[in-house]
Structure 1
């Protein structure tokens, strides 16, 4: 089958190319899916550069979220018990391998694709919405009436999380982003309470003013070190900070005051998704099906797709993601289908 590989195993976007690799064979508990579309994620950039520690069950081929059609099972006799059959249209989350014509994936990580969703939209849901649900509800323990701050507000995970927070009854939703276009998108299209341009605004001071010093109950941070002091400063008493990425680095600058951790009883917790076992991921998949899928079907939740590329234009797709200019998902589609 055709798949995307990286020349030399790691390198820049231009090192990627289409190649032929063996078609995977599903084991018991797995399905073989012919891919129609797959979503790009920032972890893909890190993996391509050799900077992402792969879980042991992940293939070298990139890509964790996809949509497609089931073509087989590792155990045909047991397949009917999992609620899927050959020919079913699905989308799902895998440990890797989605940058290809076929993928094998645990059946418990598959979701039936509703007719209301396109292949492109369905491929943009699994990683982002499951990550957002995990951060907001499972780790952040978000409750109705609380406030939340999403950094990298125009990223796909934050776009998902903002919609989830609204649906869960947030009292206020704040966000940071890097351009006026993104600020306008967040405030006017997604309806956040207030968005801040991190290049020109002192978001921590502004949030303190807006909340009369009370701060926010939960902060979801993908940036890391440069935002850590601000995260502590804006945290409400018994507030929580969920760290999902280190885009700004992992080493704290000199002078960081960790006092708020103590006197505001702030809890900081880091988390990843891809390294979790399939049982944990499966529970999150069930949360997606129960809480989010009906809202996709009735249109109250939306998948924001920035641009769709043909599979063969993967280099351009990665370069666009690297530009940090996007609002929402970048999707690749397989041709000749």
Structure 2
């Protein structure tokens, strides 16, 4: 099968197309998925470069988000049949090898692909969608009428989080460049702050929020403590291992939590229901063919992507 492999850490140029990668074989409880699309997330850039050696030393095949069609199924699998369209985030954070024509995955780590959207849109959803769902619906337990601040609201995680927060009944504030404001208003954002010209800490000083979803890092969590109501909650997707942030949060009279993401068929089912009800739209700025995966990595690294980048396989 075709797959994108890398033999060393480095920039996007280390991603190489091979046409003779071994096709995986499903084992007990597993299905073989003919991949129709995958997507690119920031974590893959860090793994590729070696900054976050999640998969150990190369060689390996990157990729987790997947949407495709079941081609084979173990006899013990009853959730899906050959020909079913499925999507998911298999094995994360272990290797899944989604940047390839075929992927093997446990059946209970997949869900039926949402009806009415493309494989590219479906593949753009699992990692960011599950992260946002875990953070806002499960950890923060956002309630109607609360105010939620989403940092990086125009990005992959951010634009999904805005919609999930709205679904949960929140008033949503987002930080994003001015060029993304119209897009975000269309997704339901109530108030937008241009981080290039405005200081959100000053803007929200007298209008505190109940929940902050922090997606940026670089000291942003510490500054965000100041815009929370007493007892409010900051959930970070980027500084999960910090030992100082919990202490700083306690000193500021607010709460701190980290969100991780994992394969979750129940969470995927929640996302599917939102998509099919028209309450959640996945925006794909651009779809690249598999052989141009390195171009997608370079574009994401350059910053400014609106929504997600997908890979057609």
Greater relative contact order structure (CA < 8 Å, 6+ sep): 2
Same fold (TM over 0.5): yes
SS in 2 for 1:11: coil
| Residue in structure 1 matched with residue 9 of structure 2 by the alignment | 10
SS in 1 for 2:251: helix
Q: Which of 286, 309, 314 is 2:266 aligned to? A: 286
TM-score, reference length from structure 2: 0.90
SS in 2 for 1:9: coil
How many aligned residue pairs are there? 306
Distance 1:225 1:322, change over 3 A: closer
How far is the alpha carbon of 1:184 from its aligned partner? 3.3
SS in 2 for 1:325: coil
SS in 1 for 2:77: helix
How far is the alpha carbon of 1:103 from its aligned partner? 0.5
Matched, 1:195 2:157: no
| Residue in structure 2 matched with residue 111 of structure 1 by the alignment | 111
Structure 2: stretches of 5+ with no match in the other structure: none
Aligned Cα RMSD in Å? Answer: 2.4
Structure 1: stretches of 5+ with no match in the other structure: 275-280
Matched, 1:238 2:234: no
How far is the alpha carbon of 1:286 from its aligned partner? 0.9
Distance 1:22 1:267, change over 3 A: same
| Residue in structure 2 matched with residue 133 of structure 1 by the alignment | 133
Deviates more, 1:225-234 or 1:310-319: 225-234
Distance 1:232 1:23, change over 3 A: same
Distance 1:205 1:323, change over 3 A: same
Matched, 1:206 2:194: no
| Residue in structure 1 matched with residue 210 of structure 2 by the alignment | 217
Q: Is the 8 A contact 2:209 2:227 kept in 1?
A: yes
Matched, 1:310 2:308: no
| Residue in structure 1 matched with residue 306 of structure 2 by the alignment | 327
Distance 1:22 1:194, change over 3 A: same
Q: Where do residues 141-220 of structure 1 align in structure 2 (5 Å cutoff)?
A: 141-170=141-170, 172-177=171-176, 179-186=177-184, 188-209=185-206, 211=207, 215-220=208-213
Q: Is the 8 A contact 2:222 2:248 kept in 1?
A: no
Shift >6 Å, 4+ stretches = 249-252
SS in 1 for 2:205: helix
TM-score, reference length from structure 1: 0.84
Distance 1:55 1:269, change over 3 A: farther
